[in-house]
Amino acid sequence: MKSTLTFAKTSLNAADIIILFLACALTAWIYITFWFGNHTSGSAETLVLQVAQQPPEEYSLQDDRIIDINGPIGHSLIEIKQGKARFIHSACRNQFCVFHGWLTTPGDTTACLPNRISITLKGNLSEYDALAGGQ
């Protein structure tokens, strides 16, 4: 072939160079989309709240509200605002649940273990998280 580029005994023709260029462009586009874009597949729709030993309750994320929950060691306050949810207060010592901040995407979870309260956002898509299989 006339239009070949030879480098270290390997040769690339015009079609190879176009493919290489497209592959680099695709890679760059994927980085931009999935790392820097606000990509989420599906949006969170409900908040699933579970308090020790009780069946989970679901709250819609459409209605802004503050839920006051009584756990084994005291009150916890959970805020729902504009499709997001967070703990704003809990009776525990470490306050990990409060520092976790806003839950925004389906599958996001936080819990106040001392007060035995956990919240999870549920979307319209995934019913399960993963299937484990043998090697």
Partner 1 sequence: MKQLHFKTNHDDHLIALLAALAVTIHIIESAFPSPLPGIKPGLANVITLFAFIQYGWKTALQVSLLRVVISSLLLGTFLSPTFLLSLSGALLSLLALVLTQLPFRRHPQHQPGAIGYAIIAAISHMSGQFLVAWYFFIPHPGLFKLLPIFITFAVLLGIVSGIITQFLVKSITQNLQLSDK
Closer residue to partner 1, CB minimum distance, 105 or 118? 105
Closer residue to partner 1, CB minimum distance, 50 or 104? 104
Give min distance, CB of 87 to partner 1, in A: 22
Give min distance, CB of 123 to partner 1, in A: 8
Bridging pattern class, strands 117-123 and 44-51: antiparallel
Closer residue to partner 1, CB minimum distance, 10 or 53? 10
Closer residue to partner 1, CB minimum distance, 36 or 93? 36
Give min distance, CB of 133 to partner 1, in A: 4
For the residues of 32-95, what is the DSSP string, one character each?
A: IIIIIS---SS-EEEEEEEETTS--EEEESSS-EEEEEEETTEEEEEEEETTEEEEEEESSSS-
Closer residue to partner 1, CB minimum distance, 34 or 53? 34
The sign of the torsion formed by the CA atoms of 72, 74, 79, 84 equals negative
By the criterion CB under 8 A, which residues form the site for partner 1? 1, 9-16, 18-20, 23-24, 26-27, 30-31, 34-35, 39-42, 105-107, 125-126, 128-131, 133-135
Tokens of 4: 């070949």
Contact between 86 and 78 under an 8 Å Cβ cutoff? The reply is yes
Give min distance, CB of 40 to partner 1, in A: 6
Burial of 6 (0-12, 13-18, 19+ CB in 10 A): exposed
Give min distance, CB of 85 to partner 1, in A: 17
